[in-house]
Structure 1
Amino acid sequence: MKEQRLQKIESYIYQHGSVSLEELCDIFNVSKNTIRRDIKKLVEHGTIKKVYGGVVATENSLLSFENRKFYNQDKKIQIGSKAAGLINENDIVFIDSGTTTCQMLPYVDNELSFTLLTNSLDVINAASTMPNVRLIIIGNTFKRKTRSFIGIDNETLIQHYNINKAFMAATGISLTNGLTNSDIMEYRIKKLISDKSKELILLADDSKFDHSTLLTYSPLKDVNTLITNKNVPQDYIDFFKENNITLVYV
């Protein structure tokens, strides 16, 4: 029983990158003392490490992009195809790196003319076959595990782009911590884009709700549209109504 719980805790940390001790207690319905003992065992394995208030997966233990892409794949495809319909002629859009956002372009009209900014290798590859897309690549260093480009030489340049729609991904979503991510270099790009974009469109399946990682790149109230599947907690539905956030189901 204990070994099964340890495996589940380890898998959960791998999937989310970083989590708090309180979240682990709630998810696995155990006391903080029990979680501390379990974490001590996992730290000894070398696959996770303790940080202030929680734990993080070590770099070599994080799930690869290819493995994460197959987690909730049907939901990701449905969400991505729905988001694709929001791209219009002559739009200037940003498509974030992520296993859901990368599903968008196969469902966009191949003849549509628009400007696309992205740091996702998969989105770049898909856009390269679309004759009327003006492609601008963000990021100067390739991160293999997430198939994304990170790091920017000139933040001012991004701030000059007139992005009217940003299609964003998040590692976790919470009412208190907003849209979160665990990589400092990915975080910086996400924050700059979110702050600049006229319309913030979040693509997320129900596994992302009530989860937080180390860095908040945008408060939840700044989202204009959320595209998700139908299992949205009621407190989030209430929050979206209060803040005029459009909720789109697939």
Structure 2
Amino acid sequence: MKKKERQQKIVDEVSINRKVSSSYLSEKLDVSEDTIRRDIKELHDQGLLAKVHGGAISTVQKLYHYNEDVIYNRENKVRIALKAIKLIEDGMVIIMSGGTTNLILAKLLPKNLKATVYTYSLPIAMQLTEHPLIETIFIGGKIQRSAMVTTGIDVIQYLSNIRANICFIGVSALSIEQGVTDEGYEVAMIKKAMINASQKTVFLVTPNKFNATLNHDVCSFGEIETVVTDLASDDLTFKKYRKEGLPML
């Protein structure tokens, strides 16, 4: 099968199923997972699908909202969001980063909560507009199409003028050696600005983000104030990080 034909089949599978794994495509198309990952990256760069951990999802309607069926580890993220909500009080000023864990948090906020939320995530801002008592402030800037967040110096400067009670940061990677890291330089800088603008910082971490390191520092391990995860207290990873002094909920 030629490359062009194979990539078209990948696009077709994603369109039909909304989400597909690299292993599924590898078996179906009888090629290696490395080949599939390269194809997915090329198709992602062309805007024909969205590359995610372990596979790809459709970009249809992604501009306005995420289809909940294509949120990976959704049950984990719901449990994390429900824990995080307990840290929020009426009247708070909140900053939220991008990512699907924060998107679920925005969706699950109690309808009687009165708060002001700043975010540079377009999907989260759109979700918050459905909340009757939350004042939503979208921080504008250059849009990063893959994640539908704004980036750039304008976002960082805006955040420098905010004094928030709490911020919620979705974590891309966390390790004892490197702390919180992120794939993109601009997003890492924005998350640093969020930390500086907030009295309290809460990191939302799904189990697959532990013991991972990416290219750009957000904060060191010793600077982490609070981690919310859905790892069980008897989980070996939970015990390991708790032993190192990480505050975990």
Q: What TM-score do you get using the length of structure 1 for normalisation?
A: 0.69
Tell me the residue number matched to 1:170: 171
Write out per-residue CA displacement over residues 139-183 of structure 1, whole angstroms, 9 at most, x where no aligned residue: 412223212222242634321211111111111100111111111
- 1:67-107 per-residue CA deviation (whole Å, 9 max, x = no partner) reads 99532111011111221232211111111101211111222
Instruction: Report the aligned-residue RMSD.
Output: 2.9
Aligned counterpart in structure 1 of residue 244 of structure 2, from 215, 232, 239 = 239
Mapping of residues 70-89 of structure 1, within 5 Å: 70-89=71-90
User: After TM superposition, where is structure 1 displaced by more than 6 Å over at least 4 residues in a row?
Assistant: none
Letter in 1 for 2:93: I
Q: 1:228 to 1:46 in 2, by over 3 A?
A: closer
Unaligned ranges ≥5, structure 2? 1-20, 24-32, 58-65
Deviation at 1:62, TM superposition (A): 3.0
Greater displacement, 227-236 / 59-68: 59-68
Identical-pair percentage: 21
Q: Deviations over 1:191-243 (max 9, x none)?
A: 111123111101111111100111111112222221112243432111235xx
> What residue number does 2:202 align with?
201
Instruction: Count matched residues.
Output: 199
SS of 1:180's equivalent in the other structure is strand
**Change beyond 3 A, Cα 1:151–1:233:** same
Aligned pairs for 1:1-250 within 5 A: 42=34, 47=38, 60=45, 62-63=51-52, 70-153=71-154, 155-229=156-230, 230=232, 231=235, 232-240=237-245, 245=247, 247-248=248-249
**3-state SS of paired residue (1:97):** coil
State the SS of the aligned residue for 1:207: helix
Q: Give the secondary-structure state (helix, strand or coil) at the position aligned to 2:199.
A: coil
Where structure 1 has 5 or more consecutive residues not aligned to the other structure, the ranges are 1-9, 13-40, 49-56
Partner SS state of residue 164, structure 1? strand
- Shift in CA distance, 233/156, structure 1 to aligned 2, threshold 3 Å: same
Query: Displacement of 1:45 after TM fit?
Result: 8.0
Partner Cα distance (2:207, 2:37) in 1: 30
The answer to which structure, 1 or 2, has the higher relative contact order (CA under 8 A, 6+ apart) is 1
- Normalising to structure 2: TM-score of the pair? 0.70
For structure 1, which segment, 199-208 or 228-237, has the greater mean C-alpha deviation from structure 2 after superposition? 228-237
